[in-house]
Structure formats: structure tokens, C-alpha cells
């Protein structure tokens, strides 16, 4: 994504929300196992460090680990580029420039991609926040209200939970949702794309997110600006009222389908 087109999600949409209420609604309708969290970029390190009860890393991490500390441990954590293991993590959230060395993808050649050309094409395909606008980032459980508002929310869910989340998103103001997959460095597909475009962004978490970020093998990740959440919850509530709710009970592959479908669609 070009720096001219890139937009930070918090540049539009309403601000403060009832974070406790939103999280309660998500958990009631989807029975999420993983804590919904927010992510916010800061123009200065001092602004990030002013967040109440924020933790600062004492070791070098990937962004996946920092996100995991919020989603798995319930921590509020802030970082600068110096806390990250390398440019691959920093570029996605705008804390490192897309310089020639990074764009070459040479560190990934022969590891994830067969040729230098393949690796460079992968790097060029990654969505990212433009460099130079921000100096720090923080993540925190949404219900804490400490990032008020976050730029984006991160929702981990199983495929069954996620399709109902998407159905809720599409209940009103329907549009077809389309996403891509860069493969490794899939954080570019989730928080990178959502921060850069302000659009809901679904990703299949990559090897690094699962190995270092604690993402479970049956989880998908949705990143989206917080102003979408009230509509998603309202949509899922309406679907639940129609009997379309989580968990989705198996009907049976051998049963006459008309009785089951008649509950939702009538005669």
C-alpha cells in the first residue's frame, strides 16, 4: 500500500465506547476464549508511557508476542522500535522504514521463498502503516478502557465464531468483504491492513503468530476499527433472534433438511 493512500483507522469514526458492554456482548454471543484487545499508535513515546498501568518490555520481542501478552495474559503493553526483534515487525506498524534492505526480503529468501524475486514480491505485497508518523504502539484488553479509543480492535475466534461475527457485520449495509493473504507475516493482513485502510481485515494467522504470539491452531483474527463493533453486535443479536446463533448445532447429514430450514425460512 502506498504511503499516499494509507490512513490510520482512528482518523475517522466515533471515539469512546462502552468497552465493557461491547466485550460482554461479544462474549455472550460468541463465547470467545481469547480476550478482545485494542491496538493504538502514538506519535511520541511519552504519550504511550502515559497510559495507566502500562508495561514496558524487558526483553526483545516480536509484535506477535506483544499482541499475545495483551490477548493471552490480559496485560497493557507499550513498545517502541527498539523493543522489536527487527524491521519485519516494525514496518507493519510504521515504526521502521521500508528501506531497500527490507524491500529486498533477503532474510526470507530460502527460508520462506524460493528466490530473491519471490521474497521481494512478498515484501512489496504487505500492507503497512507509513513510517514517520508514529514512534510507539500499545495494546490492551478492550474492557480495560485504557486505550480510549484504540485505533483498531483485534478479535480472535474459531471459524464458526468468525463467520457469525462477519454475518453480524453484514446484517445492515451489506457489502461483499474481500481480503488477501501474504502468507508469512500475516500481521500485515490483519492489523497492518486495518490500521492502513480503516477496513475490517480478516487474517489466517501465520507460523510466527502461532509460535511466538500464542495464537491457537483453530483461531482466525479479525482486526477492525472500534466503531464497527456496535453494529456487529446488533447484527448478531438479530441473527440470534432468528435462531442463527453460536454454537451452531449439527443438524445431521442424513436428516430431511426441510424441517430444519423451515425454522429459519418458513414454508
Distance (Å, whole) CA 205 – CA 28: 24
pLDDT value for 12? 44
Residue 212 has pLDDT above 70, yes or no: yes
pLDDT value for 265? 86
**164 falls within a domain:** yes
Kindly indicate the confidence band of residue 158, based on its pLDDT and cuts at 50, 70 and 90.
very high
What average pLDDT does range 173-191 have in this prediction? 97
**193 falls within a domain:** yes
Distance (Å, whole) CA 9 – CA 7: 6
For residue 74, give the nearest of 142, 148, 147 by alpha carbon: 142
Kindly indicate the confidence band of residue 2, based on its pLDDT and cuts at 50, 70 and 90.
very low
E strand or H helix at 41, and its extent? strand 37-42
Domain residues for 98? 9-248
**DSSP conformation letters of 84-121:** BSSHHHHHHTTSS---HHHHHTTTTBTTTBSSHHHHHH
Residue 110 has pLDDT above 50, yes or no: yes
**88 falls within a domain:** yes
Distance (Å, whole) CA 131 – CA 56: 22
**267 falls within a domain:** no
Query: How would you classify the pairing of strands 136-141 and 220-224?
Result: unpaired
DSSP 201: E
Residue 7 has pLDDT above 80, yes or no: no
> Percentage of the chain with pLDDT > 70?
94
Q: Which of 3-7, 125-129, 191-195 has the lowest average pLDDT?
A: 3-7
149: CB partners within 8 A, 6+ apart? 10, 14, 15, 16, 17, 38, 40, 226
**149 falls within a domain:** yes
Query: Which three-class secondary structure state does DSSP give residue 145?
Result: coil
pLDDT value for 9? 55
Domain count, the chain: 1
> For the whole prediction, is pTM greater than 0.85?
yes
Kindly indicate the confidence band of residue 4, based on its pLDDT and cuts at 50, 70 and 90.
very low
Distance (Å, whole) CA 267 – CA 123: 52
Amino acid at each position: 500500500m502506498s504511503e499516499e493512500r494509507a490512513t490510520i483507522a482512528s482518523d475517522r469514526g466515533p471515539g469512546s465506547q462502552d468497552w465493557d458492554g461491547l466485550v460482554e456482548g461479544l462474549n455472550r454471543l460468541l463465547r470467545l476464549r481469547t480476550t478482545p484487545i485494542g491496538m493504538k499508535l502514538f506519535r511520541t513515546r511519552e504519550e504511550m508511557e502515559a497510559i495507566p498501568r502500562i508495561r514496558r518490555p524487558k526483553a526483545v520481542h516480536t509484535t506477535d508476542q506483544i499482541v499475545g501478552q495483551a490477548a493471552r495474559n490480559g496485560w497493557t503493553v507499550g513498545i517502541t522500535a527498539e523493543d522489536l526483534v527487527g524491521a519485519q515487525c516494525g514496518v507493519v506498524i510504521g515504526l521502521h522504514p521500508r528501506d531497500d534492505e527490507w524491500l529486498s526480503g533477503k532474510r526470507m529468501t530460502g527460508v520462506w521463498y524460493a528466490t530473491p524475486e519471490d521474497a521481494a514480491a512478498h515484501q512489496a505485497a504487505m500492507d503497512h502503516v507509513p513510517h514517520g508518523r508514529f514512534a510507539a504502539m500499545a495494546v490492551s484488553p478492550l474492557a480495560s478502557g485504557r486505550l480510549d479509543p484504540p485505533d483498531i480492535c483485534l478479535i480472535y475466534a474459531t471459524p464458526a465464531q468468525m463467520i457469525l461475527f462477519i454475518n453480524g457485520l453484514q446484517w445492515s449495509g451489506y457489502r461483499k468483504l474481500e481480503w488477501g493473504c501474504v502468507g508469512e507475516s500475516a500481521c500485515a493482513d490483519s492489523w497492518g491492513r486495518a490500521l492502513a485502510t480503516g477496513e475490517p481485515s480478516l487474517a489466517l494467522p501465520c507460523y510466527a503468530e502461532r509460535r511466538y504470539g500464542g495464537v491457537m491452531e483453530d483461531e482466525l483474527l479479525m482486526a477492525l476499527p472500534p466503531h464497527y463493533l456496535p453494529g456487529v453486535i446488533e447484527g448478531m443479536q438479530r441473527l440470534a433472534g432468528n435462531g442463527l446463533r453460536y454454537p451452531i448445532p449439527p443438524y445431521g447429514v442424513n436428516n430431511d433438511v426441510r424441517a430444519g430450514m423451515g425454522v429459519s425460512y418458513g414454508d
